[in-house]
Amino acid sequence: MKRLFLSLVLIPVFNLAIGQTKWDKSSTTALEDDCISFLSKSYKNLDDNQKETIAICFSKEIKSKYPSKEDYDNLSEREGARIKNTYILQCAKTSLGIELKAPEVKVEEKPNKENLIGHWEDEESDFYLNPDGGVSITFHDDNSHEKGTWNITGDILSLHIPRKLLGAKDKEYQIFNFQKDQFLYQSQKTMKNQTVKRIN
């Protein structure tokens, strides 16, 4: 009898502990702000009032479909992006009577030698990754130059720069979010992230 009483008391408590987290004022505001940020990047022709109207509608739709914030947060990146686009287009139409076109989604690719060849620029320098495996770098601050070789293994871009006095300098960068016209990389020595853009 005692065991039955404990289980009747503990089961509801346990369910509350693992229960779904509900949306509150703070998380709703964050959801709306994220929507406005997305609209600002993808639909520059919208004014602030239009963005806010769409964002409020969007948050209502998301909270209706996902009463648990946890369920929404656990969506995959691809599924989250698809749902965001769907409800933003729907809200623009129902709230404002505006037909928005889905923004062009840049497809992430795997970095390889073929699509890395070319002229690139980051915050500190611009550089050529040549088809023959050579690399030439010009630094923005003092216009100095370096030459060497480059290679890509998986998502690691390796640079080998021979120097006369101090010996060779080797650099390694891990590449993230690679697209044909830009990517993000992280120095494996300093762990600094930089955005790299293709120069046509």
Over the stretch 80-106, which tens digit does the pLDDT of each residue have?
Answer: 888 988 999 999 999 999 988 876 555
Q: Kindly tell me if the per-residue pLDDT of 108 is higher than 80.
A: no
Q: Kindly tell me if the per-residue pLDDT of 10 is higher than 60.
A: no
Return the H-helix or E-strand segment holding 26. Answer: helix 25-42
Number of neighbouring beta carbons within 10 Å of residue 157: 22
Query: Which CATH number covers residue 161?
Result: 2.40.128.490
**Is residue 123 domain-shared with residue 152, that is, in the same domain?**
yes
Q: Kindly tell me if the per-residue pLDDT of 188 is higher than 80.
A: yes
Q: Kindly tell me if the per-residue pLDDT of 167 is higher than 90.
A: no
What pLDDT score was predicted for residue 177?
Answer: 86
| For residues 118-126, average pLDDT | 95
C-alpha 88/C-alpha 125 separation (Å) is 39
- pLDDT band of residue 107 (cuts 50, 70, 90) is low
**Is residue 131 domain-shared with residue 191, that is, in the same domain?**
yes
**Is residue 120 domain-shared with residue 182, that is, in the same domain?**
yes
- Taken in order 77, 81, 83, 88, the sign of the CA dihedral is positive
**Is residue 135 domain-shared with residue 186, that is, in the same domain?**
yes
Please give the structure tokens belonging to residue 7.
């289980």
Q: How many domains does the chain have?
A: 2
Q: Kindly tell me if the per-residue pLDDT of 143 is higher than 90.
A: yes
Running DSSP on this structure, what letter comes out for residue 108? P
CB 130 within 8 A of CB 124: no
What pLDDT score was predicted for residue 42?
Answer: 83
What pLDDT score was predicted for residue 8?
Answer: 44
| For residues 162-183, average pLDDT | 87
**Is residue 90 domain-shared with residue 120, that is, in the same domain?**
no
Over the stretch 45-79, which tens digit does the pLDDT of each residue have?
Answer: 899 999 999 999 999 999 999 999 999 999 888 78
What pLDDT score was predicted for residue 163?
Answer: 82
**Is residue 147 domain-shared with residue 179, that is, in the same domain?**
yes
Domain boundaries, position 167: 113-198
**Is residue 69 domain-shared with residue 135, that is, in the same domain?**
no
Q: Which residue has the higher pLDDT, 109 or 28?
A: 28
Residue 108, domain member (yes or no): no
What pLDDT score was predicted for residue 85?
Answer: 87
Q: Kindly tell me if the per-residue pLDDT of 196 is higher than 90.
A: yes
| Residue 71: C-alpha distances to residues 11, 136, 140 (Å) | 22, 48, 46
What is the pLDDT of the chain when averaged over all its residues?
86
Nearest to 53 by CA among 39, 69, 41: 39
